[in-house]
Each structure stands twice: as C-alpha cells, then as structure tokens.
Amino acid sequence: MSTSGVIASWITGLSLGLVLAAPACERPATIELGGACTDNAQCKSPADTCMQVAGKQRCTMACAKDRPCPSGYACPVTDPARRDVGSCLVASDVGPDVLRAY
C-alpha cells in the first residue's frame, strides 16, 4: 500500500486503481463540563452538548430539579418555552438575575 492509500492491482494485464478510504479517527471525549469545545463529541460525560454560552462554546448537559447539576454549577433556563429545564453552566458564569430551572 502506498502512502496515498491507492493500491495498484494487476489482474489479467489490466491495471485497476482502488482507493481505500480509512475510517475517520474520532478523538475521545476529553473536555470536562464547562470546558471550551467545538462540537458535542469532545464533551466528556456527564457533559454531552457543546453549546454557545456568552459568545463561547462550552461543554454542558441538560439539568432539571430531578437531574441537578454537579456542585459548582448552576442550571439557568436555556429555552424560555421550557422553564423547568436548563443547561449546567459554571455557577460563577451565571449572573444573579438569570432565571434558573430550579
């Protein structure tokens, strides 16, 4: 196999070029809750969503009264139509006047 991923196969005098596509390498989820991210796949459990918060992308997770955030995190409402749920954000990043889900 050449470095370009093309295999030359000689069958009965004919040249057939086969291009093999390697599967995309996924990086393991390594970014903790509240950390900077660019997509959901980077967020480490329990964080499962990369969302924009105050102009920055952050790993977060859904929260509600029956699914509270870990210590040090707040649960501000992120959808005005659903005031009983939110997303866990670093508590110090959430202003005092922000509506919280619980």
**Count of structural domains within the chain:** 1
The CA dihedral of 82, 85, 90, 94, to the nearest 10 degrees, is 40
- Does a structural domain hold residue 60? yes
CB of 41 within 8 A of CB of 35? no
- Does a structural domain hold residue 29? no
- Does a structural domain hold residue 54? yes
Q: In the predicted model, what is the mean pLDDT of residues 29-50?
A: 94
Whether the per-residue pLDDT at 91 is higher than 70: the answer is yes
- Does a structural domain hold residue 48? yes
- Does a structural domain hold residue 49? yes
- Does a structural domain hold residue 63? yes
- Does a structural domain hold residue 10? no
Residue 7 is predicted with a pLDDT of 37
- The parent domain of residue 67 ranges over 40-93
Amino acid found at 2: S
C-alpha to C-alpha distances, 9 to 17, 18, 25, 61, 93, nearest whole angstrom = 7, 8, 27, 50, 59
The DSSP secondary-structure symbol of 69 reads: P
**Tens-digit pLDDT profile for residues 42-82:** 999 999 999 998 899 999 999 999 999 999 999 999 889 99
- Confidence grade of residue 25 (pLDDT, cut at 50, 70, 90): low
